[in-house]
Amino acid sequence: MDTINRLITWGKSHILILILLLATTLRLFNLASNPPGLNWDEVSMGYSAYSLLETGKDEWGVSWPLLFRSYGEWKSPVYIYLLIPFIKVFGLNAWAVRLPAAIAGILAVYLTYLIGKKLYSENVGLWAALLLSVSQWHLMLSRPGFEAGVALTLVLAGIYLFLKEKPIFATLPLGIAIHTYHSAKLVVPIIIVYLAISNFKKIGFKKLAISALILGIFALPIATDLLTGRSQKRFAQVGITTDAELVERFFKYRGTFPLGDLAGKLVFNKYTFILSKGFSNWTSYLSPHFLLGSESIRAQHSIPFRGVLYFTEFALIIFGLTLLFKKYSGVARYLPLLMIAIGFVPPALTKDIYHVLRSILTLPWWQLLAAIGIVELQNNKKFHKLFTFTLLLLTCEILILLFQYFAWYPKAFAKDWQYGYKQAVEYIETSDKPYKEIFFTKTYGEPQIFVAFYSKLDPKIYQEASKSWLEYESLGLPWLDQLKTYKLGNYTFGDIRYMGGSRGGDTLYVGKADDFWADTHVLQKIDFADHNNAFTITDGQ
């Protein structure tokens, strides 16, 4: 009994350590197997890092690039370079690819505590850190190898250093953040201007000028890439104006405008479309439909129909907002509101609705607002029963989420995580028969990088093959896998055209069940948890 009492006493005086242990456990438990497969971006960044480690060049043969071509969308470099030491130590596998993101997620919880303590109180910092550690929004984005989570941690580190009146030190994480994830390119400049203006008298012109110079150096490569057009490639693929049907409908109204062609062009043009549609998108992210439950949420980023906040958490946020204006002023009042407002600008400028990942920079400001509310309930005696009831409801919601995510999610959403590629490549790699040619379906997208990653293909072989793949760009195609067929070693990627043949032939086919005849001899079937077929493997002439 004495031991238990001592543990309880120790726990009360080391609450932050317990919160960080919880955050660590939730982010590292079964990390390699949940999510149940590596997605396109994870294998791409992992193999790029592996290629650099082995040859000093990416898979396209470019030495130490500042932008990575990847599939044709030009990825930011930081996460890929960050992966190199992890792959060196742990090998080319899911654990190595995801561990940096998980560590960044744990650090984000700690930084939330520091920011909460600096702006409000230690209690607010502790509650906010706890809420972020169990947040579905943050948990599901800090376990996969998403560079967005690393960008969030860097932004939080920069903000904290700014609040500590160390702007020159803050420029390092903020400058790296803009090279980590596209959303940071928009958010970081705005938050720097706000913090600089808010703290001008405390910090002084000289330190701010030096900070601006350093940040300008960080921004120079982005400005250079803007001239080449590579930095805009991703926006050209997902930007708000790429919804051709909606744009066409908008411009049709120009012909009906009663004040003539010139007035019609002034009212209905590319910029007014971006403004009107962008504002509509931005407001949709503030709706309960997104925050509390939407079927439109991508399963890679959040559990569909659940929303990104707990219902109890949402109620605490509303309460916290009322207290924010009553009890606080200056940066403590406006910083959370500003970060949520500008954090939704990047996703609002894309065609995809309710994009949880692109909204990540609004974290942990929701949790800080909720923490303000819960601390008020905790400290006010008249709210004692309501505080207890709130904790009970919140605990129930958290336990339900953890059960769903760790027990049900890997089975229900395996298809969303490109499940099956690993199993298919492992079957081929362990086969005793040396097949002359392997036809691999490209139905699920970009099979070449999964083959390279899971077979640990010599990057020199990939670099040699990728020289001919650049044809996709000259043909005006946005993605490599839109080529009809392309080859990597003895692999041919394309649509399966199985014509039968004798069993035991020297050609292997990896496709879907409906790519083959009903009586085809199957060497291996790889199914999702719902028993639908992921891949079917057979051979022939």
Q: CA quadruple 469, 474, 478, 484: dihedral positive or negative?
A: negative
One digit per residue, pLDDT tens: the chain, 541 residues?
556 555 555 555 689 999 999 999 999 999 999 999 999 999 999 999 999 999 999 999 999 999 999 988 889 999 999 999 999 999 999 999 999 999 999 999 999 999 999 999 999 999 999 999 999 999 999 999 999 999 999 999 999 999 999 999 999 999 999 999 999 999 999 999 999 999 888 888 899 899 999 999 998 888 777 666 666 666 666 777 777 677 677 767 666 667 666 666 676 677 777 788 889 889 999 999 899 987 778 899 999 888 899 999 999 999 999 999 999 999 999 999 999 999 999 999 888 889 999 999 999 999 999 999 999 999 998 898 999 999 999 999 999 999 999 999 999 999 999 999 999 999 999 988 888 899 999 999 899 999 999 999 999 999 999 999 998 888 888 888 889 999 999 999 999 888 766 566 788 999 998 888 888 889 999 998 888 899 999 987 6
User: What's the confidence (pLDDT) of residue 276?
Assistant: 83
- Sort residue 30 into left (φ over 0), alpha (ψ -120 to 50) or beta: left
In this structure, the chain runs to a length of 541
User: What's the confidence (pLDDT) of residue 232?
Assistant: 60
Residues in CB range of 87: below 8 A, 6 or more apart: 46, 49, 50, 53, 96, 97
Query: Measured between alpha carbons, how far apart are the two ends of the chain, in Å?
Result: 73
Nearest alpha-carbon partner for 75 in 173, 151, 144? 151
SS3 content of the chain, % helix, strand, coil (to 5): 65, 5, 30
Residues in CB range of 281: below 8 A, 6 or more apart: 240, 347, 348, 349, 350, 353
Distance CA 300, CA 355 (A): 10
User: What's the confidence (pLDDT) of residue 476?
Assistant: 83
Distance CA 382, CA 359 (A): 36
- The number of CA neighbours under 13 Å toward the Cβ of 345 is 16
pTM greater than 0.85: yes
b/e for 382-399, b at 16 or more Cβ within 10 A? ebeeebeebeeebeebbe
Three-state secondary structure call for residue 220: helix
User: What's the confidence (pLDDT) of residue 192?
Assistant: 94
Own/partner pairs, 250-257, CB within 8 angstroms, 24+ separation? 250/277
Q: Sheet with 507-511: list strands edge to edge.
A: 486-488, 491-494, 437-441, 507-511, 533-540, 524-527
User: What's the confidence (pLDDT) of residue 505?
Assistant: 75
Place of tokens 């923490």: 371
User: What's the confidence (pLDDT) of residue 10?
Assistant: 56
